A and B are shown apart, each in its own frame.
Chain A
Amino acid sequence: MMDLSPEELTAVHLSLRIAVVATLASLPLGVLVAYGLARWRFPGKVLIDGLVHLPLVLPPVVTGYVLLLLFGRRGPIGAFLAETFGIVFSFRWTGAALACAVMGFPLMVRAIRLSIEAIDRRLEDAAGTLGANRGWTFALVTLPLALPGLMVGSILCFAKALGEFGATITFVSNIPGETQTISAAIYTLTQSPTGDAGALRLTLVSIVIALVALVLSEVVQRLANRKLAQFE
């Protein structure tokens, strides 16, 4: 009963790969945006803040459709990327990763931003008076102190990416072996009269992955707290 079919196994692999890539690829931009929102004052900050959080409040289907309009083969960004760099998102697993990254981004930015805002600015001032320019101050003071936030943000983004369904299916459809994640596969199986066993197997796999992720995040959280306790 617990033997996964090749198609189901592919869906599991694909889900994990998409979630990992979505998380790692959005981390640098997430840190930059979080730092900017936490530390800089600039015109249009409210707009950027709103834009980042939009996927959190929009129906996922709408986010997926907007991605299709922008990053689809005929979309302004999608066409440019395809012609210039040969990067294609539409109906590829990379597109699924993009959709997952966009959906997880607000959660990631929020966690990192909070941890940066919790850092006493005068620590950064102190680094400045000791000769560290902004880049060094960021690398040697801000980033290490924000590390717990980075970890929490990454885990949240990863979890969101694993569970993503609406935006992904709207943007890159539900192609087995290319864009069919666990969620999409379960959805497909439930639509078929013979799919119950498969849906159940994938559901169990989902639960296992979710549990592992939760335990992992708890461990990371504890390690980070222990590290912080050393600081205090």
Chain B
Amino acid sequence: MIQVDAQKKLGSFDLAITFESDGGIVALFGPSGSGKSVTIALIAGLTRPDSGRIALDGRPLVDTAAGVFVPAHARRIGLVFQDAQLFPHLSVRHNLMFGRWFTPRAERRIAFDPVVETLGIGHLLDRRPGRLSGGEKQRVAIGRALVSSPRLLLMDEPLAALDAERKQEILPLIERLRDEFRIPIVYVSHAVEEVARLAARVVVLAGGRVVASGPVEDVFGESIAQAGESRFRRASFVTARVDHYDAAWGLTALSHPSGTIWLAGPAGPPGRDCRVVVRATDVTLATARPTGLSVRTVLDGTVGRIETSDGPLATVTVDLAGHGHVLASATRKALDELGLAPGLPVVALIKTVALDEQSVAVAPP
């Protein structure tokens, strides 16, 4: 359980944040310059707040009122940097063992071998970091933090420097850390998909303030619109249950009260809940169930909110039958011609090709 309530001024930047999290992965989400990295530095103990209190499992790490400051090396909080920051003069093995030397014997909860195995870095142990690829470096960096058996793991945009393929390699590993090693994680990112896939809760930062926080499903959609991001970054989340995998076509069917959601590729085992990220630009609206279309996913709902601006575009919130909602981007002209207004029935069409395993987060068992 991490509780953060801290203020810090850095030049003209003014940070004042309050949030807490109880286990699992909490995501710090926001554009660059919103204060994510400073928050991480405050929790790690690399920076002192001007005022405030940060506590882990009830024990204060810093409390300016009480004059408490636990230095970074005594906090036992792991940190994974965006660019790995492996020790260049040490072999991979010694990088991994570094934190272990400083971990009291009784607190060595996480063993070396399972970490090496989970991360698939056994063949790299005798190499120098300089000879590793970006993805390998990042896996070693995650391993290095884990082997020190941290009470909390901070990950500062760990995938931002990697290409899409490497990301796909490492994302499932982070899910396994969450589920197998049971480490609470604070995960910093500005990528919606990563946050949706990994985190249970999200804290949205903008300009050094918390602008929204809560379960990912509740927070997203609106807050992304608030943050003034482009329409391509707007997305919503639908929680559905894995029904079956159609191996012949390579498609997974997810059941939702409003209809069947099809996605390309396999997801989790049947019966497991998962969260699907749906970008607003991938949703088409219709007033009746269409025929003769290639779209497989057709969801029933009613028009909720319609947000318009001076521009040609609008964002429609469709309340799905049963539970949840999706955001749809459309032109104001189209909405006008269809006569869509809040309260009217509507169907939301989602192209299956827009949804694949990248956009799905399977809940832990």
Q: Which residues of A contact B (CB under 8 A)?
A: 120, 122-123, 125-134, 136-137, 140-141, 144-145, 229-232
Contact = CB atoms under 8 A, between A and B. Distances in A.
Interface string B67-108: 000011111111101000101110000000011011100000
Given A123-B87, A127-B87, 18 more contacts: A125-B72, A126-B81, A126-B144, A127-B98, A128-B46, A128-B71, A129-B44, A129-B73, A129-B77, A130-B78, A130-B148, A131-B99, A132-B98, A132-B102, A134-B73, A136-B73, A145-B88, A231-B88
B77 A231 contact: no
Contacts of B24: none
A230 B130 contact: yes
B21 to A, nearest CB: 19
30 contacts: A125-B79, A125-B85, A126-B79, A126-B81, A128-B46, A129-B73, A129-B78, A129-B79, A129-B154, A130-B78, A130-B98, A130-B99, A130-B145, A131-B73, A131-B76, A131-B99, A131-B101, A131-B102, A132-B73, A132-B102, A133-B71, A133-B73, A133-B74, A136-B73, A145-B89, A229-B130, A230-B128, A231-B88, A231-B89, A231-B128
B72 A128 contact: yes
B33 to A, nearest CB: 19
A122 B85 contact: yes
A131 to B, nearest CB: 3
Nearest to B76: A131
Contacts of B304: none
B274 to A, nearest CB: 33
A204 to B, nearest CB: 41
Contacts of A126: 79, 81, 85, 87, 144
A122 B99 contact: no
Interface string B43-56: 01110000000000
Contacts of A120: 85
B129 interface: yes
Across the A-B interface, the 9 shortest Cβ-Cβ residue pairs? A131-B102, A130-B99, A231-B88, A128-B72, A129-B79, A133-B73, A126-B85, A231-B130, A232-B130
A123 B85 contact: yes
Contacts of B79: 125-126, 129
A231 B129 contact: yes
A141 B128 contact: no
Interface string B15-59: 000000000000000000000000000001110000000000000
Interface in B123-145: 128-130, 144-145
Chain A contact surface mostly: helix
Interface of B: 44-46, 71-79, 81, 85, 87-89, 98-99, 101-103, 128-130, 144-145, 148, 154
Contacts of B148: 130-131
A69 B76 CA distance: 53
B104 to A, nearest CB: 9
Contacts of B89: 144-145, 231
A14 to B, nearest CB: 38
Contact of B144 (A130, A136, A230): A130
B50 to A, nearest CB: 17
A112 to B, nearest CB: 17
Contacts of A133: 71, 73-74
Of residues B44, B85, B99, B154, which shows the largest number of chain A Cβ atoms within 10 Å of its Cβ?
Answer: B85
Given A126-B79, A230-B128, A231-B129, A131 B103 contact: yes
A232 B137 CA distance: 12
Of residues B71, B72, B98, which shows the largest number of chain A Cβ atoms within 10 Å of its Cβ?
Answer: B72
B73 A128 contact: yes
B108 to A, nearest CB: 11
Nearest to A231: B88
A120 B88 CA distance: 11
Nearest to A135: B73
Of residues B44, B102, B145, which shows the largest number of chain A Cβ atoms within 10 Å of its Cβ?
Answer: B102
B83 to A, nearest CB: 8
A44 B76 CA distance: 35
A143 B78 CA distance: 23
Nearest to A144: B89
A201 to B, nearest CB: 45
B90 to A, nearest CB: 8
A175 to B, nearest CB: 46
Contacts of B88: 123, 145, 231-232
A58 B99 CA distance: 48
B85 A141 contact: no
B102 A136 contact: yes
A144 B79 CA distance: 22
A123 B73 CA distance: 13
A43 B89 CA distance: 34
Contacts of B144: 126, 130
A130 B102 contact: yes
Nearest to A227: B89
